[in-house]
Amino acid sequence: MPYKLPLVQRILLWLHATINRSGLLSSMPGRWFFETCYIIYKSFFEARGVEVLRRYVAANGWIIDVGANIGFFTAIFANWVQDANRVLALEPEPVNFERLRRRMARHRRIKQIDFLCAAAAEKDGVGFLHLNPNHPADHRLSTSGISIDLVTLDTLMERRGWPMVSLIKIDVQGAENRVLMGGKRLIQRYRPALFVELTLNEPGSLATMAILAEWNYHPHRIHHGKGIRPVTTDELSELLNKKGYLDCLFLPHP
């Protein structure tokens, strides 16, 4: 049976399409309405329990938000980093990037956030992003589309003098493995916690699970109000078949 999006998400996408067709999405009230609905959806449905990730952020640790979209996680992460440590937020799609910058400009810890309009990948250069007009969080790296900058996490951290990174969140619609390969030195150096969205039948998601198993990372699931628990690869596959996509916390084995 083909996977169907959850009802709440289908309603949200319908709202986006309706507002977009009306032209209101380019207006301040239209943007505010959709972004507010999106944040509510993330807070109460898709990303409940993310506060548990805070325990993996060291006092001297940075956080990297790969695929920041309009900044739901970026805003949370900025409250977790201390002193001179930073949140590095990457978002390649220009409209989402401007929304991210605009939303974070109101954040009380804006000085803790570095913004980059680029996609994390396995090598530095130029690539293409295929835009999904019906889903603002489903743009994908492709062989055609709008031209975007590609950069590796290793390059970004090397340019910054290799600050310690505690947590990396990755939500890139099937290109997770490309992000990991471009951050191999960083990940092997600091062994950060990795919070990754996986998608059913995406080759990149399947490759990601294989790569992280090889790097001795173990999958865990966040349970709202109950913390985290380890899951096996078989359990993870079963959950993906049931849900279509899910967020998974990968922790390094000692």
- Per-residue pLDDT tens digits for 199-254: 887 788 889 999 999 999 999 999 866 789 999 989 998 988 888 888 999 999 97
**pLDDT computed for residue 245 by the predictor:** 82
Q: Which amino acid is at 184?
A: K
Q: Which domains does the chain have, with CATH numbers?
A: 1-46 (no CATH), 49-252 (3.40.50.150)
For 38, other C-beta atoms within 10 Å of its C-beta total: 20
Using the predicted structure, report yes or no on whether residue 3 has a pLDDT greater than 80: no
CA 225, CA 154: separation in Å to the nearest integer?
A: 35
Q: What is the CA radius of gyration of the chain?
A: 17
Mean pLDDT of 148-166: 98
Residue in the structure block whose two tokens are 């999106």:
38
The whole-model pTM stands at 0.85
Strands 165-170 and 193-199: parallel
Give the percent of the chain with pLDDT over 90: 57
Is residue 62 within 8 A of residue 162, CB to CB? The reply is no
Instruction: Give the pLDDT confidence of 86-120 residue by residue, as tens digits.
Output: 999 999 999 999 999 999 998 888 999 999 999 99
What pLDDT does residue 44 have? 73
Per-residue pLDDT tens for 118-139?
999 999 999 999 887 666 667 7
Q: Please check the confidence at residue 187 and state whether its pLDDT lies above 50.
A: yes
Residue found under tokens 């570095």: 114
